[in-house]
Amino acid sequence: MLKNLFLLAAVAALPLSAQCCPGCGHHAPAPLKVESKALAESPKISDSVGRAGMVASVVKTADGARILAIGGANFPNAKPGAKTPAERGAKVFYDEILSINPLDGSCAVLAKLPYPIGYAAHTSKGCCMVIAGGCNMEGHVSTVTRIKADGTTEVLPSLPITTAYPAFVQMGGKLYVFGGQEKAESVTCLSNSYVLDLKDTAAGWKELAPMPGEGRMLAAAGACHKGKIYVAGGCSLHPDAKGAAERTYLKSTLCYDPATNTWSTAADMPETIVAPATPMPAMRGGLLLLCGDPGNFYRASLAGNAPADHPGQNTTIYSFDPCKNVWTVAGKNSIGIATAPAVKVMGTVFIISGETHPGVRTPVISTINLSK
């Protein structure tokens, strides 16, 4: 069905065995077959500037499936080569609901959300998509909305707290939301954890055990093995000498067990990563962490020795094998991307738009084929 999908990323094979632990039933990722096309031939969203912080999920439709890609933000009035906030101009948030055909990449505006939104938790179930939290020009929100395949919307119980940039994942028909930033001016991150049963949304959100250690934002969550959830990377915040928020980039991985409502630690990532494409797609028992910001330029800026030009976001794709508790390099994407949604449709992962450099977006829809 998806043989004619457009493919962009050039990913190396994952040399992992078919079954890594005798008797556990966990099958590690097999080698990936990936084709590529020139960027000029790749599909794009309908905004030529591109958007960061979009939310996107696949929903069932009468004729198959569509990816709903919603909201996001950009700097439409930025000067060419803009590097400073003044040169970028105002950040604009969007309320458009885009419908993307996963078979040919065609994109059209379907409807509008009741409010603009970006950097929110999101997932889908059947013919509906759910957005939780996020932010817009008015600040951070706790609003939760269900969007049907035809673009109509329904208000669901709000999150107990406002949050943007959380980690999130669906498992067992439930949406899990971890951490984030409570307010735009917050100088620390949240460690709060919540879950919403998508089969009983009227029951509202249930608070879970908080993440251990410092709170974090712009982390990635994924679920794949023995009913456990992994939260990787992101950053914590603390006030600098002037009281402004300063980031500490993280490479630690946390493991949440819903059965016991407890946390443990897993292997660190090979490097610090903030804002990879989220959530982490599950593939053959493992997880993929796609691109993101490794923080090298940010740390150099704090030290006063940053290069004149930003090198761009990370192109590296990492895989995590939870049975072996090991991170490995899976390959590279053709372009570096941060703050973008990752949507898995059958054996293909779609990375919808996103940020290539600070303040710079791309309209390109990157795709990674996970078929054998």
- State mean pLDDT over 304-333: 92
User: What average pLDDT score do residues 196-213 get?
Assistant: 97
Mean pLDDT of the 31-36 span:
37
Q: Is the pLDDT of residue 211 over 50?
A: yes
- Most confident listed range (74-83, 259-268, 345-354): 259-268
Q: Tell me the average pLDDT of the chain.
A: 89
**C-alpha 132: how far from its chain's center?**
13
The continuous run of DSSP H or E covering 296 comes out as helix 296-303
What band does 40 get if pLDDT is binned at 50, 70 and 90? Answer: low
Tell me the mean pLDDT in the region 274-303: 94
Where residue 35 falls among pLDDT bands split at 50, 70, 90?
very low
Q: Name the residue among 300, 246, 291 with its Cα closest to residue 271.
A: 291
Buried b (16+ CB within 10 A) or exposed e, 162-185: bbbbbbbbbbeebbbbbbbbbeee
Name 156's Cβ contacts closer than 8 Å, sequence gap at least 6. Answer: 130, 144, 145, 146, 196, 201
More confident residue, 279 or 333: 279
The band of 39, judged by pLDDT with boundaries at 50, 70 and 90, is: low
Are 178 and 214 in contact by the 8 Å Cβ rule? The answer is no
Cα–Cα distance for residue pair 2/215, rounded to 1 Å: 39
| Residue 104: per-residue pLDDT | 87
pLDDT of residue 42: 74
Residue 370: pLDDT over 70:
no
Query: Which domains are delineated in the chain?
Result: 41-80+89-358 (2.120.10.80)
Beta-carbon contacts of 97 under 8 Å, excluding residues fewer than 6 positions away, are: 68, 69, 70, 109, 110, 111, 112, 113, 147, 151
H/E element holding 297?
helix 296-303
65-100 per-position pLDDT tens digit: 999 999 999 999 999 889 889 999 999 999 999 999
Question: Regarding predicted confidence, which is higher, 286 or 208?
Answer: 208
3-state helix, strand, coil split of the chain in percent (to 5) is 5, 45, 50
Adjacent-strand bridge partners of 316:
332
Closest to 288 in 3D by CA, of 353, 337, 235, 247: 337
**Average pLDDT rounded to a whole number, residues 185-191:** 98
Cα(77)–Cα(93) distance, integer angstroms: 13
28 and 284 in contact (C-beta within 8 Å)? yes
Read off the pLDDT band of 41 (50, 70, 90).
Answer: low
Q: Which of the four pLDDT bands, split at 50, 70 and 90, describes residue 305? A: very high
The confidence band for 275, taking pLDDT boundaries of 50, 70 and 90, is very high
The model's confidence at residue 137, banded by pLDDT at 50, 70 and 90, is very high
Of the given ranges (141-150, 283-292, 335-344), which has the lowest mean pLDDT?
Answer: 283-292
Confidence category of residue 33, pLDDT binned at 50, 70, 90: very low
**Cα dist. 125→133, 194, 198, 201 in Å?**
18, 18, 8, 12
pTM, 2 dp: 0.92
Work out the pLDDT band at 160, boundaries 50, 70, 90: very high
Q: Which helix (H) or strand (E) holds 193?
A: strand 190-197
Handedness of CA 11, 351, 134, 205 (dihedral sign): negative
Q: How confident is the model at residue 22, as a pLDDT?
A: 37
CA distances from 129 to 106, 146, 147, 300 (A): 19, 6, 5, 40
For range 330-353, the mean pLDDT: 92
Give Cβ neighbours of residue 167 (< 8 Å, ≥ 6 apart): 177, 178, 179, 180, 216, 219, 220, 221, 231, 234, 278, 279
State the pLDDT confidence band at 1, using cuts at 50, 70 and 90.
very low
